[in-house]
Amino acid sequence: MKSGLGCSRIIAVLFLSLLGACQTAYKASWDMPAGVKALEANGYPIAYVEKGSGPTVVLVHGALFDYRTWAPQLDSLAENFRVVAISLRHYFPEPWKGDGDFSLKLHANDVAAFIERLGVGPVFLVGWSRGGAVAADTAWMRPDLVRKLVLMDASLYSLVPPPAGSPSDDPRVKRAKATEVYFRRGDMEGGLQFFIDDMVGAGTWSKLREEWRQPIRDNAWTIVGQLGDVETVTCDDIGRFKMPVLLIEGEQSGPVFRRVRTAIQKCLPAARLATIPKAAHQMHEMNPAGFNAALAKFLSE
């Protein structure tokens, strides 16, 4: 009798182990680059790369980028952490063409589900630009999943009221709609040039390094997806964060990001600040050594 019970328990353990393995090895309907894994979250295969061991750090990319933007962080941070860089829903490597749901809220829910599926308890959550808004939303919805929060030039624009006399139409929406016109007529390169130059300044697209332009091409349709973005995290929500928070900005980051950072500090005076020298908005790629050192210091304390 005891022998039968023992066999039943062994079979149950083996079944659960096999089930967990099947869930981890999730198969996407599109090709995954070599070394890229997928983990099912909310019915979607979240693509990710990982390296190292130790406390888990989850990196969330910004608009028009994907897990590849974190290449300068993987080797350095992996010396002391398990570093997991994800691609949000509809970003590369998915060959997305603008169909289906796309929003900050959806991506925040996906990140929360992904962290749960990792099964490692609360993680260090790092979000850059639009990914900072996603990370803040995730921390607000599921603070139990976030051990420490890092916001890099987070695009929490709703915290900053528009200047007096500014147009009532959101320039981001106007820009995205105009870009979509280019895309719909098949002029992807022209649309990207218009979008980047209109957002940053004339001639910016032609001056970008090719290693930055290709990821933008791969994620072009997410520009149109962002028309569904609605920032819902308020100053009161941020003020209730209990986890340690680090704000990181580039020394040369644009004025809008400084205004947002100042607004976040007013909402959460306990938040720390690190400024990365000789770097602008893309600080983790422009000065990876300085950025990695500031991030590792905060996570290790």
- The Cα–Cα gap between 249 and 253 comes to 6
- Kindly state whether residue 28 falls inside one of the protein's structural domains: yes
* 267: in domain: yes
Query: Which DSSP string do the residues of 200-247 spell out, in sequence order?
Result: H-TTHHHHS-HHHHHHHHHTTTHHHHGGG------HHHHHT--S-EEE
Q: Which of 156-165, 201-210, 218-227, 264-273 has the lowest mean pLDDT?
A: 156-165
- pLDDT for the residue numbered 172: 80
Calpha distance 17→47 (Å, rounded): 22
pLDDT digits (tens, 9 = 90+) for 243-259: 999 999 999 998 989 99
Q: Is residue 211 domain-resident?
A: no
Whether 173 is in a domain gets the answer: no
Q: What is the CATH number of the domain that holds 78?
A: 3.40.50.1820
Average confidence score pLDDT of the chain: 89
Mean pLDDT, residues 131-158: 97
- The 8-class DSSP code of residue 60 comes to E
Q: Is the bond preceding residue 93 a cis peptide, omega within 30 degrees? A: yes
The pLDDT tens digits of the residues spanning 82-130 come to 999 999 999 999 999 888 899 999 999 999 999 999 999 999 999 999 9
Structural domains counted in the chain: 1
Q: Which residue matches tokens 């007096």? A: 164
Which neighbouring-strand residues pair with 87? 47
Residue 159 has φ and ψ, to the nearest 5°, of -75, -15
Count of positions (residues) in the chain: 301
Residue at 154 is within a domain: yes
252 found inside a domain: yes
- Which pLDDT score is estimated for 29? 84
Residue 41's domain comprises 21-166+232-300
Tokens, residue 52: 């190292």
List, in sequence order, the alpha helices (H) in 25-153.
71-77, 104-118, 130-141
